[in-house]
Amino acid sequence: MRRTALWAAASGVVALVVLGAPAAHAEGKGDIRVTKTVVNKGGNVIVGVHDVKTFSVVFTVRDNSGVKGISHADVFNTANNYGVADLTGKSCRKSSSTTSVCTATFKADPAWFKSSVDIDPNALAGTWQVNATVQARDGDYWIHDRLALFDFKRASTLTTNATPEPVRKGGKLTVRGKLARANWNDLKYHGYSKQNVKLQFKKSGASSYTTVKTVKTNATGNLSTTVTATASGSWRWSFSGTHTTMAITAPGDAVKLR
C-alpha cells in the first residue's frame, strides 16, 4: 500500500534511535511529546522470501496530564512512500504519572509485496520512516511525520568452500563461495553481483578471524580466489552489507595441513 507523508520529508541521517528529532515536522496541541523512538530493538528490519517479519516501534511519550495512547502509527519507504508493513497492535504501559512507553507492532509478509505495489517490490528496501499521532488525557495531541528512520533490508545468504582438504603446507588453496539476496519478485534468492566480500582466516587455536583479502562477486554472485596455505585453520567470507541488503558472515570451513 502506498503511504503519503503528512509533509514533504526533509533529508536526514539514518538512525535507529532518534531523541527529539529536531529536523522532523510536527503539529499538535499542548505539551505532549514523543521523547524517544526505537525501531526493532535498535536493529534493521530484515525480510527474506518466506517468513513473515514482525517488528515493534517503541515510543516514550510524555505529557503533564498523563498519556492516553497512540491513535495512529505508520511506517513506509522515504524514497517512494510505499509501505508493506501492516499495523497489528498498539499498547501503552504507564511508567510514571506523566510518561508512558507505547508499542506499535507491525508485520511484513514478503508473499504480498509484489501484489501490494505497482513498482518493483525490491525497491521497497532502503530507508523507512515512522509516523505517529499520540494523545494525552487532557486532550492534547501531537502528530509527527518522522519520529525515526530505519533500514528495511533484503535478507542475504553466503557460503564458503575451501579446497583441497587437507592441503599441504605451502600449497595452493582455492576458496569459493556465493553471495545471494532475497528477490521479492519471485521469492527466491539470487546472486548479488559486483559486491566486495572479505576473505577471512582464523588459525587453529586463535580466538578471532583476520581479513586476508577482498574479492568482488561476479555477475552471478560467485566468489573465488586462491591463497597459499601456511597453517591449519578456518576460512570464511564476510559481507558488510549495503543500504538495502543485510550484512552476513558465512560459517568457517576448517582446513588442515597434511
In which band, very low, low, confident or very high, does the pLDDT at 11 lie, cut at 50, 70 and 90? very low
pLDDT of 99 higher than 70? yes
* Separation between Cα atoms, residue 132 and residue 162, nearest integer Å: 50
Average pLDDT over every residue of 105-124: 98
Average pLDDT over every residue of 37-66: 98
Apex CA 249: angle with CA 85 and CA 231, to 5°?
175
Residues 99, 60: contact at Cβ < 8 Å? yes
Domains of the chain: 17-154 (2.60.40), 156-255 (2.60.40.730)
Query: What does the pLDDT read at residue 25?
Result: 72
- Among the listed residues 194, 206, 191, the one whose alpha carbon sits nearest the alpha carbon of residue 154: 191
* Separation between Cα atoms, residue 143 and residue 220, nearest integer Å: 46
Burial of 149 (0-12, 13-18, 19+ CB in 10 A): buried
In which band, very low, low, confident or very high, does the pLDDT at 26 lie, cut at 50, 70 and 90? confident
Residues 227, 170: contact at Cβ < 8 Å? no
- Among the listed residues 198, 197, 202, 212, the one whose alpha carbon sits nearest the alpha carbon of residue 235: 202
- Among the listed residues 183, 202, 179, the one whose alpha carbon sits nearest the alpha carbon of residue 192: 179
The amino acid sitting at 237 is W
Q: What are phi and psi of 122, to 5 degrees?
A: -65, -20
pLDDT of 176 higher than 50? yes
Average pLDDT over every residue of 192-213: 98
pLDDT of 227 higher than 80? yes
What pLDDT, in 10s, does the model give residues 131-175?
A: 999 999 999 999 999 999 999 999 999 999 999 999 999 999 999
In which band, very low, low, confident or very high, does the pLDDT at 208 lie, cut at 50, 70 and 90? very high
If one compares 72 and 1, the residue with the highest pLDDT of the two is 72
pLDDT of 16 higher than 90? no
**Looking at 22-31, 34-43, 131-140, 165-174, which range is the least confident one?**
22-31
pTM of the model: 0.87
Average pLDDT over every residue of 26-43: 95
Task: Quote the mean pLDDT of the chain.
Answer: 91
